Amino acid sequence: MPTSSSTTVSLTEGPVVLGNGIAGETLRIPTADPSGFHQAISEPDAMPTTEILGSLFLPPGEGPWPVVIVVPGSLGVAPSHVAKADLLTEAGIACCVIDPFGTRGVTSTVANQAQYSFAASAWDVLAAAAVLVEHADIDAARIGAQGHSRGGSAVLSAACMAPLVGPERASELAAVYAAYPWSGMQFLRPDVGGTVVRSVIGDLDEWCLPLQVQAHMHAMTLCGCDASFRLFPDTHHSFDRDTPVELVPEASTSPGAPTIYVRDDGALVHPVTGKADPGFTERDAMIYQVKSPYGRRGARIGTAGNQARAFHEDMMAFWTAALG
């Protein structure tokens, strides 16, 4: 589930400077590598610890500022992710772009999403928020997260996990913007509390199923949460990037596979048996989905016409309203 062109941005090679001249502050973010949601929620002390890097961009002037954590997809940090910081800082909102891959030795999860768990991706978001809460220039009450593709799944799961792991381990996010997320694994009861949520996806997306994302947002509203959904017409995956639509032949996808639900304790519910089983791992779920009749190779990404502009207009309207 990539979100950008083949060019990547390394956060390990020194400060990143935006097009508007703002230099990023490198953050070292203590996080974890849970084997799955059950370990993250029910056995958090068993999680192996690790560290990822982030780059924090602050608007001109004096804070504290609201902030948006930007989480990349399956090709890692790209110029299209860093470009979000230009837009946000110009609107008076700080931006923290995180790199989940570099310190884990991962370059791409396009062909294999099981190199580290989706629970770890979600934990990265909560870990970044925990660091930002303590930052003197950040308003701890206005921390949001925006994820793209796999990163979109991460921010949605993080919003669900925060109330389950408790305030001593995670703070509630003010808002979440999920761009073309994979909703093939979602919480059975996706109660995000007071977090405002929005998901957007194109109707031509071959990586993630729009119907699944729509249902995911509807489930949140049934929990009494503030969740919204937008479908972009004639639009492919990663339509906010700056490259035309192209085929990624090595992509391993199964958008039509049955949803894997996650119980409040983190146990996955097998779609065939309907039973929650801590022994049914994320890797098991991935293998089941890829080997199902829905598994396939190859999918398109990219933008056309004014699609990227429409994305960014929607994105900025959401963040200026959600973070004020």
Domain extent listing, the chain? 25-256+298-323
Q: How confident is the model at residue 1 (pLDDT cuts 50, 70, 90)?
A: very low
Residue-level pLDDT at 2: 37
Q: What is the mean pLDDT of the chain?
A: 92
Q: How far apart are the first and last CA of the chain?
A: 31
User: Residue 314, class by beta-carbon neighbours within 10 Å (0-12 exposed, 13-18 middle, 19+ buried)?
Assistant: middle
The structure's pTM equals 0.94
Residue 41 has pLDDT above 90, yes or no: yes
Q: Answer yes or no: is pLDDT of 3 > 60.
A: no
Rounded to whole angstroms, the Cα distance separating 172 from 193 reads: 8
Min mean pLDDT across 46-50, 51-55, 95-99, 292-296 is at 292-296
The matching CATH number, chosen from 3.40.50.10490, 1.10.260.40, 3.40.50.1820, 3.30.450.30, for 25-256+298-323 is 3.40.50.1820
CA distance 261 to 187: 5
- 69-83, 153-167, 211-225, 260-274: least confidently modelled range: 69-83
Strands 65-71 and 276-277 turn out to be unpaired
**Quick one: average pLDDT of 103-116?**
71
What mean pLDDT is predicted for residues 143-160?
Answer: 97
pLDDT at residue 236, rounded to an integer: 97
Provide the CA 75 distance to its chain's centre, in angstroms: 13
